[in-house]
Every structure is written in structure tokens, then in C-alpha cells.
Amino acid sequence: MKKKFEFPCIDRREFLRWSGGVIAAASAFPGYPGEFAHADTMEKAGLGVGARRTLLAACPYCGVGCGTLISVEGDRIVGIVPDKLHPTNKGVQCIKGLNAHEPIYRDRLTDVLVRKDMSDPITGHVSATKGRFDDDVFEKMPYDEAEELVAEKMAAVIEAFGGNAVGLSGSGQLTMETQWIENLLLKGIIGSNSIEANARMCMTSAVTGYFKSYGSDAPPTSYEDLEEADMITFWGHNAREAHPVLFWRVGDHKKAKDIPTLVSDPRRTGTVQG
């Protein structure tokens, strides 16, 4: 059984210090309480990276690509602070990005379940329980034994059919570092080009629209163009929830230049409400 990570105990004083800092950081953005935090305000509240080891990374939560400073103690991420020098978020981070590391330590799998009657592509055996996911068709196995089993099965398939017989389906929310490791394993070690991600399905309609509108698979704009716009329109896009830092930049530009903004959406979203 995988050992579950236990969060360090936080006493009342520490809790109040952190919660007060977050409230103070959020107060820098009146009208959006609790949605954003700025690096300067976090540092004043004592929530900066301090003497801890600091690593640069891109936030994996959405597609905006905010720069973050990952604060590490030992081998544990203990906090995230927005990067003041990053051109995308400019020292601002939304509440989702500030807590993007939490799922790493929220263990959900406590046991490895292995199908008792497994299919074998080498011998051609097809499991009699294929397609069934009832408890009785699985057995529990320790993590180290399960790792050995996966390695043995993959090695046998690669030897019999070549590297491309092993595929990997990833996610659009993988970190840049994880994607690098993923490609290193599949392409560099196994010799497979069979890499896919759910991002292909969610981007199919968008890319089709890009090609028809712009003749390219990506819009020919950058974030800096936001501050040059005389009017900004959101078509069915709830930026306040989906891409908060983008919403903040638009709101900041609207306030500074008094430009008109239009939201076309059948829903009364946070973006519609402003």
C-alpha cells in the first residue's frame, strides 16, 4: 500500500498568519476578493519564497502559462509564488494557480489493482473479463511488484512488436517538466512515436476555426496586444473562471484606458458580471 502523505500540523498562529497574508494579497484586487494575489503583497505578508529552495516553472493549471516560483523544502513543494518578472502574469497569480501543487499530495490510489485474467497480445490470449471492472476480477498487489509487472509486460511487447506498440495518452494539464519526461521515455528510451493527449480532442474545433479565420492553426496575436486593443470581445468565453489572469489583464486595461468590452454569452457568468 502506498504511504499517504501527511500534511504538517499548523497551529492557530501559523494558520492566522497565512490566511491573513492571503486576504491581504487578495485585497490588492478590489472587486475580486480571493481570486488573485500579487507577489509583492505576499512578500510583505511573509509568504515569499524566503530561504527555501526556489525553482522556476510554468503553472500547469490552464493555458495562460503564468510564471511561478516553486518553493521547496527537502523534496516537498510547500508553496507557490507568482513570478514578478514573467511577461504573462507580471507577478499576479489566481487562486487556482497558487494551489496547483496540492493535488500532488492528495493521494487517491491506496492500492494497485491488477486484473486476474489479463489479455496477452504476444500469445493472443483475450481476457474473459475484458470490459468488466467489478471488484472480483481484480486482485491487490504491492506497488513494487506492480512496477515490476508493468516493466516486464512493456519490455515483452517492445521486443515482440517494436517501440511504437507502446502508446501514451497524456493531458493538457501536465507540467512542462512532466511532458519532457514523458517524451524522453517514449521517444528517447522506448523509441515510440505513439503519443497522444486529450488536448487534441478539445482543440479540434478551435484549430478548425483558426484555419478558416486566420489561415493558421494559431491566432496571430500575443498577450501584449491586449494592452493595445481599443475594444475587447469575449464570445462564449468565461475568462474570469477559465483564464483568470487573462481576465485580470483585460480588466486592468479597461480601467486604465476606459475601453469598451463586450461579452456574448447565453450564460450569466462571472465574466458577464464583471
Unique residue bearing C-alpha cell 499517504:
4
What domains are defined for the chain? Answer: 12-105 (2.20.25.90), 111-161 (no CATH), 162-214 (no CATH), 221-273 (no CATH)
Distance CA 72, CA 69 (A): 10
Cα-based angle 51, 88, 261 (whole degrees, multiple of 5):
135
pLDDT at 162: 93
> In DSSP terms, which residues pair with 92 in a beta bridge?
38
Query: Grid coordinates representing 119?
Result: 489479455
- Torsion angle in degrees (nearest 10) through CA of 13, 38, 66, 87: -150
pLDDT at 49: 53
Contacts of 217 (CB under 8 A, 6+ apart): 207, 210, 211
pLDDT in tens, the chain (274 residues): 444 434 344 344 443 444 444 444 444 454 555 565 666 666 665 555 555 788 898 888 888 989 999 988 888 888 889 999 999 999 999 998 998 888 878 776 778 999 999 999 999 999 999 999 999 999 999 988 999 999 999 999 999 999 999 999 887 777 778 888 889 999 998 999 998 887 777 788 888 888 998 898 887 888 999 999 999 999 999 999 999 999 999 999 999 999 999 999 999 999 988 7
Q: Please give the full DSSP string across 233-247, using - where no structure is assigned.
A: EEES--HHHHSHHHH
Task: Write out pLDDT tens, residues 58-77.
Answer: 888 888 989 999 988 888 88
Residue 220 C-beta-side C-alpha neighbours within 13 Å? 5
pLDDT at 16: 41
Query: Grid coordinates representing 263?
Result: 461579452
How much is the pTM?
Answer: 0.64
